[in-house]
Amino acid sequence: MPGWSWQLDGWIVCAGVLCAVAASLLGNFLVLRRMSMLGDAITHAVLPGLAVAFFISESRNSLPMFLGAVLVGVLTALFTEWIRRFGRVDEGASMGVVFTSLFALGLVMIVQAADHVDLDASCVLFGAIEYTPLDTFQVAGLEIPRAVAVLGSVAILNTVFVIVFFKELKFSSFDPALATTTGFHAGLMHYLLMVLVAITSVAAFESVGNILVVAMFIVPPAAAYLLTDRLERMVLLSVILASASAVLGHIAAIEIPGWFGFRSTTTAGMMAVVSGIVLFLCAALGPRHGIATRYIRRRLLARRILADDIVALLFRWEENAGSPNLSAADIGRLLLCRKWTLGVAFRRLVRSGELELDGDRFALTEIGRKRAQNLVRSHRLWESYLQDSAGVDVDRVHVPAEMLEHFTDSQLREQLGKETEAAHTDPHGRPIPEEVPEQS
Amino acid sequence: MSRSAWVGLVVLVLASSVADLGWAHPRTLDRSRQVHSDRSIADRSLELPTWDQIRQVLLLGDYNVRVVILGTTLLGCAAGMVGSFTLLRKRALMGDALAHSTLPGIVLAYSVVTLAGGNGKTMPVLLAGATLSGLLGVGVILAITRWTRLKEDTALGAVLSVFFGAGVALLSISTQFKEGNAAGLESFIYGKTASMGMADTQMIAGAAAFCIVTCLLLFKEFKLLCFDDGFAGSRGFPVVRLDMSLMGLVIVVTNVGLQAVGLILIIAMLIIPAASARFWTESLGRMFLISGGIGAAGGLLGAVVSALFSKLPSGAMIVLVCTGMFLISMIFGSARGLVVRIRNRRLLNRTVNRQHLLRAMYELWEPSATHAGPSATAARSESVSVEALLKKRSWSRIRLLREIRRSQRDEMLDAVDGRLRLTKRGLVEAARLTRQHRLWELYLIHHAEVAPARVDQGADTIEHVLEPQIVAELESLLDREQAAVPASPHALVSEDTLTGTGEF
């Protein structure tokens, strides 16, 4: 890759990955607790904490600043909760009130000292992650960027927290009331989580800029949430997705502008964008909840049901009169189905050997008849069962049976046969055909 | 930790705040630099304005001040009104997501026009970009909440951060154009309150008028949308289109607000006035007006304060004034304020305590009265000791004594050497309460088939809120229209337990 240097890009990616991991670990629980916007609120609200710490310590020491910021971050969560509870204000609104107010307060305070601080507007909002390798210090003979060290410690802290308190976090995220009644301190877990969110926000603030912290808090866990139903897997997946977004984001920031003849763009911004793309892909293609996946699954089911309906219709037609077989147009009229969809279904059935074309009319083959016979058996067994055992009126048994027949296997048919005491006719007086063994 | 660590944190925040709120109007900054360059970094004293300045500001003497004040007031009013609908629709933070998601549109619009050879930094171009991008953001949020299992807050946060990230990345590229000059492009969304010009104010006025008129015209529809969108749909209202027009209004307010006053401020103005107004009323119409009023007052006062003290940034002051009004509303609000709610709760507690005391007295006196004959209600009751009352139910001595004192003051009870007696008035009231209680118990036994041993608790909670109509209904239902107090259907705390303690 042109212009890639491990000395620089290696550390940048490292900082990005550490930040992504630290944030997404906690983000899982924020997403589950419907507090996703808290990261955003905290990164804006820490301003007065920084100002007060600066005014009190009268120094440029970073430890008091850090503590001040974390303190106000926790207060943000606390105030939001209080206003929500005591003022009965909707959660989002109370968060909006708190963080904008704190931000404004901090701004007023900090403007008083602003004349003396050199400002570079672009380095903050957009994240200073590109400058990570420039600010280093020595650890055990190694020269490590400060941001990497800070974010690394936060990532380790968060990992330990999540592993040690996994059970408590899980319990109190899904059912805080039950957790409290069984002796977990759900409130304590809530505030521990808030403290760590504040620490992570403040630590990540300077390395990737506030918007990216918010992105890493929310987007990878949201993507993981769409992929799995188990919390363990969700946490693991979110960490993997977050790291991947960080790495790919940096590569994209270097590469993509080059295609159009520009120099590299902001890494932090591209990391957020890549995580957004990952979320989009998960939302579309997730194995169980993906939009496209669900659509395809539904189409497949619709296709199977249509094929079922066609063979069952032909079976009933044969059974009724033994009259000449039906043409495509007749079937379309009887099944209220569009020509094109029907054509696809016919072709599929002919290919699988269940239908054969006799002139312009369709007839069942032996294989097709077996399938149809079992279907009609299911249908009529259900009708008998619904009338005998569920007390459904004769006029009303057809519609549910029509739905259930598609999901009834031989085992269920056997059970239905027992329940209806091997009835020979259905409530409409039609014979219930014998079971035919499924072709192997 | 190194000095650069400090710079990393504070300067960072500082810069973001400058960008976010746009206080750094060059004129003010330069002047304060010159004046205060010899002051220490920790010197935070405010310079008080001279009388001349105060008069100048209050009488709107200065053209600049006049324009700024007018602009922020109108904006506050419009934002407050639109905000009251979004608040009730639980979409308060939508403005936040929307404001952030305008950035990529702004940069893209600028880039496209610039690369096509035009001047990209004109208002219509940037506004069009911001609007399209904001609409896309809202659309994505609605799509995520509708088609995936992610919740609204997650959708908001994801759209906010990803769109803003994209905007930042695009911005960095657009600064590399040979044509045009992207510098200051971001100030479009970070605002410039203090240097607001007449053109800005006119635009705000137009947008505010548009929003207010639309809100008034669609008031009924929006009201329905906020309270019961399912019902609105079933009545044939176009819910999706109405929802979209409400979001459209938010976009209008956000767009004019963004470039006039900045990101955080416009979020605050959409949320805080509406949340404050909610404490004063339960009616949407009034809330709408109060919210607009609070927004306008916040804009006005904030701008005035900031004009008086040159070191206070106007955007932040407007937010803080609004926050002050929010706190006042939350505490003193006449409909849902803390004071009102606490007072109501106290009154209810007192009524409950009083009623418990009177009934306990009545039930303790009752056995002796039945011996005395049927005209018992007219007779004065026997005296009862505090200890006996204390055993009657689980109340603390302090609570009981306090209620006894209060009842004595209201001449419901009188005390004779430490023993208590119902006054005539108290007896009538006590008989009425006991009768209600027992009617309800009988009702539960005969009509709800509750076992007699269990009816006491149910009746105990409901007796305090039984209205006269309900009592009348119970009477006719139970055929007990005469005024007599029916006998208790279950065993009362018996005299044996009481005499057993040696008190009697």
Instruction: Note whether A104 contacts B264, CB cutoff 8 Å.
Output: yes
Q: Which uninterrupted H or E stretch holds B415?
A: strand B413-416
Q: Closest partner residue to B168 among A93, A268, A279, by Cβ?
A: A268
List of chain A residues whose C-beta atoms are within 8 Å of the C-beta of residue B91: 92
Q: For the sheet containing A361-364, what is the strand order?
A: A326-327, A361-364, A355-358
CA distances from A91 to A36, A86, B277 (A): 11, 12, 16
Tell which of A111, A227, A251, A259 to mutate to test the B interface (max B CBs under 10 Å). Answer: A111
Q: pLDDT digits over A420-435, tens only?
A: 887 788 888 888 888 8
List of chain B residues whose C-beta atoms are within 8 Å of the C-beta of residue A123: 11-12, 15
Ranked by mean pLDDT, which of A21-25, A123-127, A189-193, B444-448 comes out on top? A21-25
**CA–CA gap between residue B475 and residue A114 (Å, rounded):** 76
CB-based contact, B93 to chain A, within 8 Å:
yes
Q: pLDDT digits over B471-500, tens only?
A: 888 888 887 766 677 778 777 764 444 443
**ipTM of the predicted structure?**
0.85
Tell which of A24, A37, A80 to mutate to test the B interface (max B CBs under 10 Å). Answer: A37
Instruction: Note whether A218 contacts B161, CB cutoff 8 Å.
Output: yes
For chain B, percent of residues with pLDDT exceeding 90: 24
Q: Closest partner residue to B147 among A212, A265, A291, by Cβ?
A: A291
Is A40:A219 a contact under the CB 8 Å cutoff? no
Q: pLDDT digits over B54-75, tens only?
A: 776 666 667 777 888 888 899 9
Mark which residues 106-165 of A lie under 8 Å from B by CB. Answer: 106-126, 128, 135, 137, 146
**CA–CA gap between residue B221 and residue B249 (Å, rounded):** 14
Instruction: Note whether A215 contacts B162, CB cutoff 8 Å.
Output: yes
Q: Closest partner residue to A61 among B1, B278, B319, by Cβ?
A: B1
Instruction: Note whether A135 contacts B18, CB cutoff 8 Å.
Output: no
Residue B189 reports pLDDT greater than 90: no
Mean pLDDT across chain B: 79
Instruction: Note whether B13 contacts A205, CB cutoff 8 Å.
Output: yes
Instruction: Note whether A108 contacts B317, CB cutoff 8 Å.
Output: yes
List of chain B residues whose C-beta atoms are within 8 Å of the C-beta of residue A66: 9
Residue A64 reports pLDDT greater than 70: yes
Mark which residues 9-28 of B lie under 8 Å from A by CB. Answer: 9-21, 23
Instruction: Note whether B9 contacts A69, CB cutoff 8 Å.
Output: yes
The H-assigned helical ranges of B309-419 are 314-332, 338-372, 386-392, 397-409
List of chain A residues whose C-beta atoms are within 8 Å of the C-beta of residue B92: 90, 92-93, 96
Q: pLDDT digits over A319-342, tens only?
A: 876 666 777 888 888 888 888 888
A29 vs A319 pLDDT, higher one: A29
Mark which residues 58-97 of A lie under 8 Å from B by CB. Answer: 58, 60-63, 65-66, 69, 83, 86-90, 92-97
Instruction: Note whether A44 contacts B264, CB cutoff 8 Å.
Output: yes
**pLDDT score for A61:** 62
**pLDDT score for B192:** 59
pTM, entire model = 0.80
Query: Residue B39's pLDDT band (boundaries 50, 70, 90)?
Result: very low
> In terms of CA atoms, which chain A residue is nearest residue B342?
A86
CA distance A92 to chain B (A): 6
CA distance B494 to chain A (A): 36
Q: pLDDT digits over B346-359, tens only?
A: 999 998 888 888 88
The strand ranges marked E within A199-241 are none
Query: Residue A125's pLDDT band (boundaries 50, 70, 90)?
Result: very low
Residue B29 reports pLDDT greater than 50: no
DSSP A42-88: HHHHTHHHHHHHHHHH-S--HHHHHHHHHHHHHHHHHHHHHHHHHS-
**pLDDT score for B57:** 67
Instruction: Note whether B90 contacts A95, CB cutoff 8 Å.
Output: no
SS3 B180: coil
Contacts 24+ apart (CB under 8 A), B367-374: B367/B495
Instruction: Note whether A218 contacts B170, CB cutoff 8 Å.
Output: no
Query: Residue B9's pLDDT band (boundaries 50, 70, 90)?
Result: very low
Q: Closest partner residue to B17 among A93, A110, A146, by Cβ?
A: A110
**CA–CA gap between residue A214 and residue B307 (Å, rounded):** 35
Strands A136-139 and A326-327: unpaired
Q: Closest partner residue to B162 among A205, A273, A283, by Cβ?
A: A273
* Alpha-carbon torsion, ordered B341, B343, B349, B353, to 10 deg: -170
Taking one residue from A and the other from B, the number of pairs with CB-CB distance under 8 angstroms is 308
CA distance B340 to chain A (A): 11
**pLDDT score for B37:** 38
Instruction: Note whether B311 contacts A63, CB cutoff 8 Å.
Output: no
The H-assigned helical ranges of B373-499 are 386-392, 397-409, 424-447, 455-462, 468-478, 495-499
Q: Closest partner residue to B16 among A113, A210, A214, by Cβ?
A: A210
Instruction: Note whether A96 contacts B93, CB cutoff 8 Å.
Output: yes
CA distances from B194 to A427, B28, B99, B323 (A): 83, 9, 20, 20
**pLDDT score for B333:** 92
Is B314:B194 a contact under the CB 8 Å cutoff? yes
**CA–CA gap between residue A235 and residue A424 (Å, rounded):** 56
Instruction: Note whether A101 contacts B268, CB cutoff 8 Å.
Output: yes
Instruction: Note whether B15 contacts A119, CB cutoff 8 Å.
Output: yes
**pLDDT score for B266:** 86
Query: Residue A206's pLDDT band (boundaries 50, 70, 90)?
Result: low
Instruction: Note whether B313 contacts A108, CB cutoff 8 Å.
Output: yes
Residue B83 reports pLDDT greater than 90: yes
Q: Closest partner residue to A257 among B9, B162, B173, by Cβ?
A: B173
Residue B502 reports pLDDT greater than 50: no
CB-based contact, A278 to chain B, within 8 Å:
no
Query: Residue B378's pLDDT band (boundaries 50, 70, 90)?
Result: very low
Mark which residues 125-154 of B lie under 8 Å from A by CB. Answer: 144, 147-151, 153-154
B180 vs B106 pLDDT, higher one: B106
List of chain A residues whose C-beta atoms are within 8 Å of the C-beta of residue B1: 61-63
Is B253:B270 a contact under the CB 8 Å cutoff? yes
Lowest mean pLDDT among B13-22, B444-453, B465-474: B13-22
CB-based contact, A315 to chain B, within 8 Å:
no
Exposure letters A144-182 (e unless 16+ CB within 10 A, then b): bbbbbebbbebbebbeebbeebeebbbbbbeebeebeee
Query: How is residue A60 written in tokens?
Result: 């440029």
What radius of gyration do chain B's Cα atoms show? 34
Instruction: Note whether A104 contacts B320, CB cutoff 8 Å.
Output: yes
Instruction: Tell me what the mean pLDDT of segment B124-143 comes to.
Output: 89
**CA–CA gap between residue A24 and residue A275 (Å, rounded):** 11
**CA–CA gap between residue B264 and residue B269 (Å, rounded):** 9
**pLDDT score for B159:** 94
Q: Closest partner residue to A273 among B100, B165, B316, by Cβ?
A: B165
CA distance B29 to chain A (A): 8
Is B490:B452 a contact under the CB 8 Å cutoff? yes
Ranked by mean pLDDT, which of A68-72, A122-126, A234-238, A304-308 comes out on top? A234-238
**pLDDT score for B11:** 41
> In terms of CA atoms, which chain B residue is nearest residue A50?
B10
For chain B, percent of residues with pLDDT exceeding 70: 79
**pLDDT score for B273:** 95
**CA–CA gap between residue B275 and residue B272 (Å, rounded):** 5
Mean pLDDT across chain A: 84
Instruction: Note whether A103 contacts B20, CB cutoff 8 Å.
Output: yes
Q: pLDDT digits over A338-359, tens only?
A: 888 888 888 889 898 888 887 7
Instruction: Tell me what the mean pLDDT of segment B397-418 comes to.
Output: 85
Q: Closest partner residue to A146 among B5, B44, B149, by Cβ?
A: B5
**CA–CA gap between residue B246 and residue A334 (Å, rounded):** 46
CA distances from A217 to A211, A214, A232 (A): 10, 5, 17
B141: exposed, middle or buried (Cβ count in 10 Å: 0-12, 13-18, 19+): buried
Residue B313 reports pLDDT greater than 60: yes
**pLDDT score for B61:** 66
Tell which of B3, B4, B12, B108 to mutate to test the A interface (max A CBs under 10 Å). Answer: B12
